[in-house]
A and B are shown apart, each in its own frame.
Chain A
């Protein structure tokens, strides 16, 4: 009965368009994730640094971009700075997500106990080794679950590109359903495409977590509960 109502033909007919939208969304998603992790790491590190100036600048950045809507940021780059649509969307996504990412990374770095750093100093570990051998391996394992959360948020947020005429999945959905009036079928397909991307991220993060698992080192949620 429900399969009778569900028109697969319209999906097959428009598959090239949908794939084109998927390609744009994927590029936005991958570039956005890489850039916002890099930016977030720098800002998160600046946030916990000893320098008053750096830490204040970083927290100003975090507060400003976390407390303004993503759409306003994207419009700022699109209408305000007159960027190309794709670049504007990417910049908006990166500034917004990197602010959240910075908070996640700050929490990860701060979760390494102070005493361990003092012990490292006492043992004469060099500053570089302290970061690469002590802080990062521990922080990374703790950061992983909330970070994959942010990556999935970014994936869903790429749909904002619709507002600035980027040809992504949402835009394809809107134009195609205006042409064919098959709202429901196209909506299901578009939603499934987003879900698949999110599932891939979730599974990857699950595997990474398992692979990096060290007994006795809990995830950040466990830390917060205690």
Chain B
């Protein structure tokens, strides 16, 4: 369940985030302003509030709502990472590419995005670490609560100690593994970056 939602979020939020990030750093105002508005709005909302709003208003299946919430939410954060990655690029390279006669799409596709992606990987892994933790809100929070007939004033054992500890252990293994991979990649990229200078 967690994995289905996490995978769905990954697949949807990544392209959405890249598009938003490019829009955010574009020169065209009609592209930049909506993207900026969306990103700032989503980033200043608490996830739970947004999620409850979506669950109350969107008339589709619960898993779909979970994926929708998480991916639209994560896309805003990814867009900021993408913008950071694009900003860190050498501007002269882009100018050189334009002067070689490449069009805007070619410059982004062949030059800007591959380099920016490589620099963004540690931050992205970090962000998906957060996503995996946030799937708990959907799978353990809303779904379980709605299944259990909502709000337990006398807290019958909806979750026992064992279940909580096992869940915690599973999340810990996934997230800790991811963060170790993230650290490893970060070190490797910073070494390569240093060598290339």
Task: Point out residues on A near B: beta carbons under 8 Å.
Answer: 63-64, 66-73, 75-76, 78-80, 82, 155-160, 162-163, 165, 169-170, 173-174, 177-178, 183, 187, 190-191, 194-195, 198
The yes or no answer to B91 lying at the interface (CB within 8 A) is: no
Asked whether A163 lies within 8 Å of B141 as measured between CB atoms, the reply is: yes
Contacts of A156 in B (CB 8 A): 45-47
Asked whether B171 lies within 8 Å of A69 as measured between CB atoms, the reply is: yes
Say what secondary structure dominates the interface of chain A: helix
Number of A-B contacts (CB under 8 A): 105
Contacts of B184 in A (CB 8 A): none
Residue in contact with B133 in the complex, picked from A70, A78, A82, A195, CB distance below 8 Å: A70
Residue in contact with B168 in the complex, picked from A76, A169, A173, CB distance below 8 Å: A76
Asked whether A72 lies within 8 Å of B49 as measured between CB atoms, the reply is: no
Asked whether A178 lies within 8 Å of B47 as measured between CB atoms, the reply is: no
Contacts of B129 in A (CB 8 A): 67
Total interface residues on B, using CB and 8 Å?
A: 37
How far apart are the CA atoms of A66 and B129 in the complex, in Å? 10
The yes or no answer to B33 lying at the interface (CB within 8 A) is: no
Residue in contact with B158 in the complex, picked from A68, A70, A79, A198, CB distance below 8 Å: A79
Closest 3 CB pairs of A and B: A69-B136, A159-B48, A159-B46
Q: A80-B164, A163-B141 are in contact. Are A67 and B49 (CB under 8 A)?
A: no
The yes or no answer to B157 lying at the interface (CB within 8 A) is: yes
B174, closest chain A residue (CB): A67
Asked whether A76 lies within 8 Å of B137 as measured between CB atoms, the reply is: no
